Each structure stands twice: as structure tokens, then as C-alpha cells.
Structure 1
């Protein structure tokens, strides 16, 4: 542990040194340099203090979110600065070496730093800095309605044109703006859907995080074919230290009851059939199954009394379940709806052309629509936010699906 802290301090020291060098190249004002040092030291001490007093019995708080946001604001821009300045030092070292061996006299082995490089470094560093500020002030509540038309050759005739809305990863413990949450609820209600599905993570860890928002979420309208939900990995209280197993179990029961309080039917490894005309489809809900975050879900139990030829919509919080189990499952699940990844709340998306996030290095399916073996999975980017108190490039999502009869589009 001590060795890890030593490495961390060395890295921070190098980053701060290079950042200071960039500032120093641009200005000779003693007061500007002193102010920069004071602000940097104060920020580092504040972050260190907040991390040291973090209590796993309490979990994430508003101050934790602020601290993580500040950490990224301090770290990412300076990492960009460090990279550019380090590349300059490599070039300076190469030029100094060549000059030395060619016998040219010089007052210094290394050429002086160039002001232009520092300007470029600061300009590049401003991009993540301003992006993170935007993400924490605007992006986290910049809700997007994404519409998807899905084609299935075996869709029952009566469900042609059937519409359903999906939300995921509410993370109510992170909310701090009632007006924005009410706006999102109104946006959900504006969609002309027949069914509403919520794919898990109603809280960060504790049931009482949702209590201030129950009335707001009760504003969700009634749907002709109901409102159904499942649990996500954060709903099990696994990321806190509990006083006792009884306390953890009581919290889990309270979290499950939250779904009833906002008028959702929670599906716990079970299914329900919904009828339209003379046809029916199965809505299957599993508990969380994640390759790295707990394997509680049981698709075999959840799909009892459902035949392979029946049309099925599976709600499974973690998309790794689809990758490792569902897409090859003999019950032939035509559509799986997931969430969990949030797209890491940070990335670049140019619809139809380009999509990137660190999430793709952890999950094969991490945001949007995928199909394989003639089966779809859709990974919702999430309604709320967690850890980093913002969103950059990967916006909060409300998804509306329209089901059509026809061949699956590759």
C-alpha cells in the first residue's frame, strides 16, 4: 500500500512539475506563479483529505461527487499538458545530443523551451477542462430521446407497430436538480408508447436515496401494457460496509419496495405475458447478472413456461449477460434491453459515423444497438450519473422502440 502511494505521489509530482513549467514559460509574473502554486496545492490537499475521510459505511455523497469532479478537472488537463511538454523534452534531448556530438558550442545542453509549445499545450488542455465543466453543469441533464425501429420476422401480427420506452440507471442518489428531473419525466410521458421498462440501478446504494424523488417518479403516466422493472448491480448494497447482514438485507428489501412505490412491477427472475388482440409476447426480467458485478440472474428460471418460438423481450441490467449467456441461449431471446455501462459518461459520438468511449475496452456491447445470431441487444446509456457528476459526449438517454415485422437489419 505504501509503495502504491509513493508511485502516486511521484506521478502527481511529475504532472505538477510539467504543468508549472508550461505556466512559467508563458509568464514571468511572480504573483501569477505564486497564485498557481497556491491553487494547485489547495486543490490537491482538498482532494486528498476528502478521499482519506471517505466512509464505505456511508457511500457516495454530494461531496464525493464534487471531489471526483474536481479530481478530473485537475488531473486530465494537466495530463494533456504533461504529454505535450514531455514530447518537447524528448525533442530537446535529441537536439541537444546531436548538437553535442557535432561539436557545436552551446551554453546549455538542452535548447530552451519554446513559448509556442506551451501555448499549444495549454490550448489542448483547455479542451478536457471546458468539456468537464460543461458535463457537470449542462451535460448531466441533457436528456436525449433516441428512437429505434426494430424488425423481427417472428413478431406476432398484433404487435406490429408496438412501442415501448426504456430507461435505465436512475441513480437517484446523485440527483441535485428537481426541475431537470421533472423535465425528464415529462419527456418520458410525451412519448406515445404502449409499455415502459426500467432496466435497473434505482439508487447508488441505499433505499433512502430515492425517497425525495418518489413523488416525481409517480408522475410517470399509466401505460396500457404496464410498467416493469428489474434490479441493477447497485441495488444490492454491495458497495457499502454494513453494520450487519440484517441491515444490508433490510436495505435490499426497501430497495425492492421502491419499485412498488413508483408503480413499477419488479420482475425477479420471472416473466409476464402481455396480450394484444389474439397474440401475446413475454416480458422477462432477471436479477443482475454481470461478468464482474455479481451473477444473481437466472434466465432459465426467469423464462419458465416460455417456449423458444414465443416472442420475448428480456430485461437484463448488465450487457455482459447477453454476451456470455443470452445470445446463444436455446430459449431464443429476440430482444434484450440492458444498461449499466453509462458509456462511462465520457466519450465521443457522431451518430452513424463514429463512437468511442473507454467503456468499449470493458464491454463488447456498451452503448446502442447490436445484433448477432439474429438477436438484438440494446444498451441504454443511462438516465442518471454516478461517480463523475457529469456527462461529456455520452448523454442521458430515453429510448423509444417501435417493433415491426420484417427481416432483421444488419
Structure 2
């Protein structure tokens, strides 16, 4: 945690990076205090017993987190003050705003009403691409921006009702980093972040207690307050994801290096390009054959499974690249760079806690969609 607090202090003047690292440090805090220094979540306590407390696997899991943070701290650039993510790419024409808004509408409606026909959740996850582009280019189109906000609110409420707290956050974060974050002070950002953490912890815990007690009437404010303090305001999703990473590390120790490396190469190439058509075997499905877990997994766990500590170094370098990119954004930056930065920031909870797919296949799809619009509409401004 000391390394993370050092990085947090260093990036304090750049609110985009400050937000990014507040998320990361909170996720890691949840692991340290929710898994190792606190009382485990009741429904997971028996699951954790599959790996003994004195197992080397747990030490490796913590070492992956530490190595990742040390590399990022060592490669941290000189931090610049953040610049507003302004847009004049398509300001002379509203046609692209209406097109993007219409696509968002189709994707959100598909998610809400076509769950039994298509893989709607996957479509909704990739809808974040359209939300990032849409919010970015509709600064001068109040109608389209209002419609996008409506789609965001409706889909967020439905998704949270279905238990998808992390996915539902992504469009909200995109809107926040485009329109709000540059208007507030770093201190306000910190206070707001803590408030949101408390709020989401409250609702998440409320659902857990209702599930445990089989009734909402038996859950009181005192129960919620006491349990939140007992769990030290940790995020159960982060704890569960870390557990999945530990199962992947445990399985990796018993599989040939070549087999694991091939799985990693296939992910970075075939799966990134082809998606489900690549017939790729996800490593959380591999570990599920030997351990009980609830999917997801910290990004460090994936790369350790594939390439050992070298993989953790690789992904730390990759994230350091995005940190430098976000730090270097100014008024003269390419619009693609700004939208990519918005996308990386908006999807932090997803790529850090669940699947690294967002940072590979997701970025590929974002790039294709963005330059397809540029090719079709031929803007005069710097793309």
C-alpha cells in the first residue's frame, strides 16, 4: 500500500490520473483489508478454504500486486495538470451525433429486451465504446446528449437491479471524465470518490444481508452500519476477483509453461481479433474445473498465469503506457487519443477486476469504430 500511496500523491495534480489511481488503490485496499486483514465475506469463507492460508499461492498473488505497483511507480512520468477533454471534431455537423445516439439506443434496447435472443450483456459491455464517442462529440448537441444521458440512466438502473454494479458504472464514468472532472478540485474529487464508495458499499451490503436473511424487513440501518465498519468499507467484488486470480495462479503451477504461454498468445492474437469465433478457452473456465469461484480476476493474475512474473511486468508496462498517454493530453492532442483515454478511464473497474479483454479486443473495436466514422464523415479537424 505504501507504493500505491506514493503514486497517488505524485498524480494528485492530474485529476484524470488521480481518479484512475483512486480506483486502483481502492480495489487493492479491499483485497488487503477484506481478504487478509479483515473478516472474510460469509458466503466466501468456505470457498477460501480450498487454498490453505499458508499456501505459497497467496504469497504469489500479493507479490503480483506489489510488482505491478512498483513498476508503475518507477515509470511514472513528470505529472502535468489535466486539460479539459474538449471536442470540435464534428462540431460543424450533427449527423454523426444522431448516428451514434441511434446506435446507442439500439444497443441499450437490445440489452433490455432481447436477453433471450442474443448475448445482450456482451453487447451492453461494448456499448461503452459508443457512449465514450457519443458523449465526446455531443458537446454542442443538447438533444443527443440528453438522449444519451437518458439511455445511460435507464440501462444503469436496470443493470444495478440485476446485480451488475461494475458494468453499470462505465458510461457514468465516461460522462464524468468528459464533462465534470475538470470543473472540480482534486479535494472535491477525493471527497466525491469516498462518498460514492460508501454509497455503493451500502447498496451492495444491503443486497448481501437481504440474501442472507431472506427478507428486507429484518435488515436495519444499525446492521448495515456495523457490517460496513466490520468489513472496513471494502468492495466484495474486488475480494472475489482476487480469489479467482489465486485459483488461476494455483492451477498455473501444475500446468506446462508452454501450454499456458500458448493460451496467452492465443488471447492476445486470435481472441482479440476474432472474439468467440476463435474458440478460445478462458483461464477462469480452466481454473473452475479445480476450484469454486465467481469468475473475474485481477489483471495481474491473468498475465501471471500466461507468462509468470514476466507477464506481470508486461502488463505493468502496458498500463504505464496509458498513464503516460493520459498525462500527455493537451488541447493539441488527437481526438482519437482523447477518446481512447476516456475509454481506458471509464472501463477501469472492468479491466482491472474482471477481464483484460477491454484493453485488447475492446480497444481494437474502438479503433475500428472511430476511424470508420472519420472515413465516412471526413472531418476537417485533427483526428
Q: Which of the five TM-score ranges fits, normalised by the shorter chain?
A: under 0.3
Bigger proportion of residues as helix: 2
Normalised to the residue count of structure 2, the TM-score between the two structures is 0.27
Bigger proportion of residues as strand: 1
Larger Rg: 1
